[in-house]
Amino acid sequence: MRVSGLLSDIAAKYATPGAPARRDANRTRIALFRKDAVKIVILGAGQVGSTVAESLVSEANDITVVDVEPTRLSKLQDRLDLRTVTGNAAHPAVLELAGARDADLLLAVTQSDETNLVACKLAATLFNIPTRVARVRATDYLSHPEIFSDENFAVGHSICPEQILCDYIVKLLEFPEALQVLEFAGGKVSLVAVRAFHGGPLVGREIQYLRQHMPQVDMRVAAIFRQDSPIAPEGTTVVEVDDEVFIIAATEDIRDVLRELRRMDQPVKRVMIGGGGNIGRRLARAIEDRYEVKIVEYNKAGAERLAAELDRTLVLVGDVTDEQLLEAENAGEMDVYCALTNDDETNIMSALLAKRCGARKVIALINRGSYVNLLQAGQIDIAISPAQITIGTLLAHVRRGDCVAVHSLRRGAAEALELIAHGDMKSSRVIGRRVEQLDLPKGLTIGAIVRSRGGDHEVLIAHHDTMIEAGDHVIVFVVNKQMVASVEKLFQVDVSYL
Amino acid sequence: MAWLLAICPVLGIIAMAMSASHLVPIAISLLTGDGMTALFAVSMALNFILGCALWLLTRTSRRELQIREGILLITLVWIGGALFACVPLLGGIGLSFTDAYFESMSALTATGATLLDGLDHLAPSLNVWRAQLQWLGGMGVIVLVVAILPMIGVGGRQISKAEIPGPMKDDQLTPRVTQTAKGLWIIYFALTLACFASYFAAGMSWLDALIHSFTTISLGGFSSHDASLAHFDSIGIELVAIVFMVLACINFASHFRAWQERSVRVYRYDSELPYFMVVLAASVIGIAIFLWANGVYPDLASTLRYAAFNTISVATNTGYATTDYARWPVFAPLWLMFLGTFVACSGSAGGGIKMIRAMILYRQVYREFTKLAHPSAVTPLKIGDRVVPDQVVFSVLAFFFAWLATLVSMTLLLTLSGLDAITAFSAIVASLNNIGPGLHQVGPAANFSVLNDFQTWVCTVTMLLGRLELLTVLVIATPAFWRK
C-alpha cells in the first residue's frame, strides 16, 4: 500500500501535457515494473479486435479473445497463438472463463457500446482488472464523460475508431503534401511522412543540407524508407527519389517544413467523399465549413439522413464506382477524393476511377494489407488502414514503461512512441545523459523531447548533445517493431530506485 | 346537411360572447356622453338574443367537431362576426350596408382599410368599437394560426406547429388548444397593456392610447384621426408604435414559449425572426437612402424618421401613416407594398404569405437549381435544423399559387369595373395581405370611399380570403367539401 501511494504521487507529479485526463496510479504500476508477459483480454473479434490481437500476440503477450461468434474465433485461432472464449462479453461467467481474474488489461471492442460499457464495469467491480479500455462510438455517450468515471462505468480510457480515423484524415487534408501527420505530447510535436519527389530540395542531397537550407526551423529526420526498407538516417545520408522521409518537428513549424520540402501544393479546396457511413459522415461534418464537400452515398434513405444532418455538404445518391456519376460530379476537379466505404474492393476501385478522372490526390480506406501491396505505387496516394490507426491508441496501454502515445506506422512495421522518463541518474538509463551517450541500437531515433517548465511546455528537437531530464516526454522512433522491447527496457525504472 | 347543425351552437356561443364585448363601448359612451349608449345596448341585445336562440335551438346537436366542420365554422365566424359588428356602424354613422360591412370586415380581419371620413369627429365609442373589433380579430387570428390551423394543415401550416420550439411541438395540440389559446391571450393582453401605458406616457390621451394600443397589437391600423399617427407628430409616439408593431409581428408562439420559460433565449429557435429583422432593417435603411438621394426630405433625421415608421408600418401590415408615402418616388411605395406581402412572421396577426412560407418558397427554388446542376443530389429543404417534409412544401406551393391567382383575378375584377391599374392593384394587395391603405386613389391620404358597391364587395371578400389563409375559405367552394 505504501508503495502504491508513493506511485500515485509520482504519477501526479509527472502529469502529462495534454495526455488523457485520467491516468491512474494502477496503470503506472504495471507499466513501470512489469517483467512477465502481459495478460490481455480482448472482447470482440471484429476488425479492431482481431488486428489488435494479431499485433499484440507477436509481442509475447498472453491474449484471450472473447466473441459470441465461434467461427470468427476459430479463424483467429488458426492463425494466431491465443486463447478464445465463446460467449457474451458482458456476462461475468464468460469474463471469468476468459481469465479476467488475473488479467492486466481489458480491451472491450465489441460492436456494441453497451456491451463494452458493461464489461468495463464488471471488470472493475468483480475482477479488479487495473486497465480498462472500451470502444464507445455513440456521441451521445461521449458527450457525457462523467459516465465513464470509476463510480459509473469505470472505463479507464474510451476510444472511438471512427473519430480517430476522421481526425487523421482531417490532418491529411490540412497538409496535402504529407503522407501522414501524427501528433505527440498533446499536439506539441508532429511527425510527418513525405515522399521525396524529383526536383525537390531533398533529392540528391545529404540530410545535413536541410539544416543549412532551413536554419530557422529545428527539425530532425527520424527515418528514411527506401523501397520499403529502412535506412538509418545520418548527416551524410543522401535522399533519393521516392524515398519516404519521416520528419519530427514542433507542430507550429510543420507547415514551414512541408513548404520547403515539397513544391507548395495548392491548398485543398474541394473534397469529395465516397461513402456516407460512420466515417464519411463524421468527416463531412468536420470539414464542411472549411472545404467545398461532396459526399456520395449508395443508400437513398442513408443519403437523405446525411443531407438532413449536414448543412453545406452536397449529398449525392449513387454508386461510388459509377464512372459516369464521378465524371458528372467533376471528380477530376477535386483536390482530394476519399473512398471511405466499408468495403475494400469498392474503395480501391472508386479511388482508382477518381484518380483516372483527374483527382489530384486520392485516399482510400483499405483494411487488408495484401491489397495495399498489390497496388502499384502512385495509383492510390494514401491507403489508410483503419485498424492500424486505431491500434496505436491501444498499444499505449500495453507498452512497458510510462508510455503516453503510440503510433503504428507503415502497417505496423515501424512505431513511434511517446514515453515519460522517470527516476534519476541512478535508477534510469536515460536521465541525466546526453543523447549521444545512450547506447541506441541502429534504427532507433530519439526525435524530440517535451519538457514542462513551470506550466509551459518546451519542445526540444533532439540532437547529439541534448540532455534528458526526469519528467521529460521523449518521442522515440523505431524503424522496426522488434526494437520496441529495447525502447521499453531503456525507459524502465530500476526497481532499486524505490 | 344535418352535420351543419353541429356548428350552430358554437356560433350561438360566439355571438353571446360578442354581445359581452359591447360593454367597453357602452362604458366609453357613458363616460364621454356621446349619446351612443342606446345604440350599443340595442346591438348588444340583438347579439345576445340571436346567439341565445341559436344555441337553445341547436344545443342538442353539439358534439366534437370534424375538420370539415371546423373549417366551415372558422369562415362563418368571420362572416357572421362582421355582420353583427356592423350594426352600430349602420346605426351610428348611417353608412349603407355595403360600406358598414366593409368597415366591420376590415376591422375584424385587422386590415385597417377604412372608407370613413372625419374620424376625428366620430363618437368616441364608435372609434373604440372599430379599434376593439380589430383587437378581437387579431386575437382570433393568432389563436387560429397558432393553435387551430396547424391541426388542419392548411397551406403548409404544419410548419408553424413544427416551429414551436420545446416540448409543445410533439404534444397533440387538441387537448391543449384551450390552454394554448389562454396563454396566447395572456401575452396578447399583456402586450396591449404595455402598449397602452407606453402611448399614454408618450403623450396620448387615455382614449387615443386605448384605441391605438388595440390597433397596434392586432397590426390593424385603424386610427381615431384622419391623419393617422401624423396627427400627433411626436417622435416618442412613433417610436412606441415601431417597437410594438415589431413585437406584435413576431410569432406569438415564440412569445408564449419565452413567457413559459421566463427566458429570451427561446427566440433563438425562431428561424423566421432573423430573416424578419434583417429584411426589415435593410428595407428601412434602403428606403431612407433612396428618399435621401431623391431629396424628398430636407434633412437626414426626418428622412430616417419617416422612412422607418412608414416602412415598418406597411411591412408589418399595420397600415398607420405619418406621411402620404404614396407621394414618394414610385419605387418606395411599391417596395413597401411588396414588403407587406411577405414580411410578417407566421403566428402573428400580420397577413400575407408570411416569412416562413417565403423562406420555404425561396429554398424550393434554390433546391431546383441544385437539382439541375447535380441530378443525383439529395437536397432536403431545411428550415433551421429541421427538414421540411415535401408534403408541406407542396401545400406551401399550392398556397402561393392560390394567393397569386386571387391577387390577379381580384385585380382584374376591379379594373373591369373601371378602376385604374395602380388603385386596383394596390387595393387588392392591401386587402389580400391585410395591410390597410393602398396607393393612388386608396392611398394613405385618401380612403376606400371612392370605390363603388361592387368594388367594395370585391375588397371585402379579398380581405376575408387573405385573413383566413385562402385555402380555408376556398375549400368551401369545392364540391368535394360538400360530398358525404
Q: What is the CATH number of the domain that holds A66?
A: 3.40.50.720
Domain-located, residue A20: no
Q: Let me know whether A367 and A451 are in one domain.
A: no
Residue A61 pLDDT level (bands cut at 50, 70, 90): confident
Domain-located, residue A257: no
Interface contact flag, A306 B378, Cβ < 8 Å: yes
Question: For A304, which residue in chain B has the nearest alpha carbon?
Answer: B378
Domain-located, residue A22: no
Core vs surface per residue B352-384: b (16+ CB within 10 A) or e: bbbbbbbbbbebbeebeeeeeebebbbbbbbbe
Interface contact flag, A307 B379, Cβ < 8 Å: yes
Domain-located, residue A243: no
Q: Let me know whether A441 and A380 are in one domain.
A: no
Last residue of one domain, picked from the residues A328, A356, A384: A384
Residue A13 pLDDT level (bands cut at 50, 70, 90): very low
Q: Let me know whether A75 and A150 are in one domain.
A: yes
Q: Let me know whether A377 and A413 are in one domain.
A: no
| Beta carbons within 10 angstroms of residue A483's beta carbon | 19
Nearest to A325 among B370, B376, B387 (CB): B376
Q: Which chain B residues contact residue A311 at CB under 8 A?
A: 382
Q: Let me know whether A304 and A364 are in one domain.
A: yes
Question: For B367, which residue in chain A has the nearest alpha carbon?
Answer: A314
Task: Judge whether A334 and A272 are in contact, CB under 8 Å.
Answer: yes
State whether residue A102 sits within 8 Å of chain B by CB.
no
Sign for the CA dihedral angle at B113, B117, B120, B124 comes to negative
Residue A5 pLDDT level (bands cut at 50, 70, 90): very low
Q: Which chain B residues contact residue A308 at CB under 8 A?
A: 380, 382, 387
Q: Let me know whether A423 and A315 are in one domain.
A: no
Q: Let me know whether A371 and A406 are in one domain.
A: no
Q: How many domains does chain A have?
A: 3
Ranges of residues in chain B with a pLDDT under 70 are 1, 150-176, 484
Nearest to B374 among A308, A311, A316 (CB): A316
Interface contact flag, A308 B380, Cβ < 8 Å: yes
* AA identity, residue A84: T
Interface contact flag, A304 B382, Cβ < 8 Å: no
| Interface probe with A: pick from B374, B376, B383, B390, most Cβ of A within 10 Å | B376
CATH of the domain at A463: 3.30.70.1450
Last residue of one domain, picked from the residues A384, A416, A449: A384
User: What pLDDT was estimated at residue A496?
Assistant: 57
Last residue of one domain, picked from the residues A384, A413, A447: A384
Within 296-355 of A, beta carbons closer than 8 Å to B belong to 297, 300, 303-304, 306-308, 311, 314-318, 325, 328-329
Interface contact flag, A308 B387, Cβ < 8 Å: yes
Helix (H, G, I), strand (E, B) or coil at B44: helix
State whether residue B380 sits within 8 Å of chain A by CB.
yes
User: What pLDDT was estimated at residue B196?
Assistant: 96
DSSP H or E stretch at residue B244: helix B235-248
User: What pLDDT was estimated at residue B260?
Assistant: 80
Domain-located, residue A353: yes
Q: Let me know whether A371 and A421 are in one domain.
A: no
Nearest to B378 among A317, A325, A329 (CB): A317
Residue A30 pLDDT level (bands cut at 50, 70, 90): very low
Instruction: List Cβ neighbours of A476 (8 Å cut-off, separation of 6 or more).
Output: A416, A417, A418, A419, A444, A445, A446, A447, A487
Nearest to A329 among B370, B374, B380 (CB): B374
Return the closest-CA partner of residue B288 out of B311, B259, B263.
B311
Domain-located, residue A340: yes
| Interface probe with B: pick from A314, A319, A325, A330, most Cβ of B within 10 Å | A314
Chain mean pLDDT for chain A? 83
User: What pLDDT was estimated at residue A18?
Assistant: 38
Instruction: List Cβ neighbours of B256 (8 Å cut-off, separation of 6 or more).
Output: B146, B164, B180, B183, B184, B187
Residue A6 pLDDT level (bands cut at 50, 70, 90): very low
Residues spanned by the domain of A351 = 270-384
Q: Which chain B residues contact residue A285 at CB under 8 A?
A: none
Chain mean pLDDT for chain B? 88
Least confidently predicted of A91-105, A301-315, B138-152: B138-152
Nearest Cα of chain B lies from the Cα of A337 at a distance, in angstroms, of: 17
Question: For A326, which residue in chain B has the nearest alpha carbon?
Answer: B376
Domain-located, residue A293: yes
Domain-located, residue A194: no
Nearest to A316 among B376, B382, B387 (CB): B376
Q: Let me know whether A442 and A342 are in one domain.
A: no
User: What pLDDT was estimated at residue A114?
Assistant: 93
End-to-end CA distance of chain A: 14
User: What pLDDT was estimated at residue B176?
Assistant: 63
Within 338-377 of B, beta carbons closer than 8 Å to A belong to 370, 374-377
Express each pLDDT in A379-438 by its tens digit.
888 888 887 788 877 777 777 777 888 888 877 778 888 988 887 777 788 888 888 888
Distance CA(A161)–CA(A191), nearest Å, equals 20
Nearest to A303 among B370, B378, B382 (CB): B378
Cα angle A216, A219, A225; round to 5: 140
Q: Which chain B residues contact residue A325 at CB under 8 A?
A: 376
Q: Let me know whether A413 and A447 are in one domain.
A: yes
Q: Provide the percentage of residues in chain A whose pLDDT is more than 90.
A: 27
Q: Let me know whether A333 and A423 are in one domain.
A: no
Q: Let me know whether A43 and A145 are in one domain.
A: yes
User: What pLDDT was estimated at residue A11?
Assistant: 41
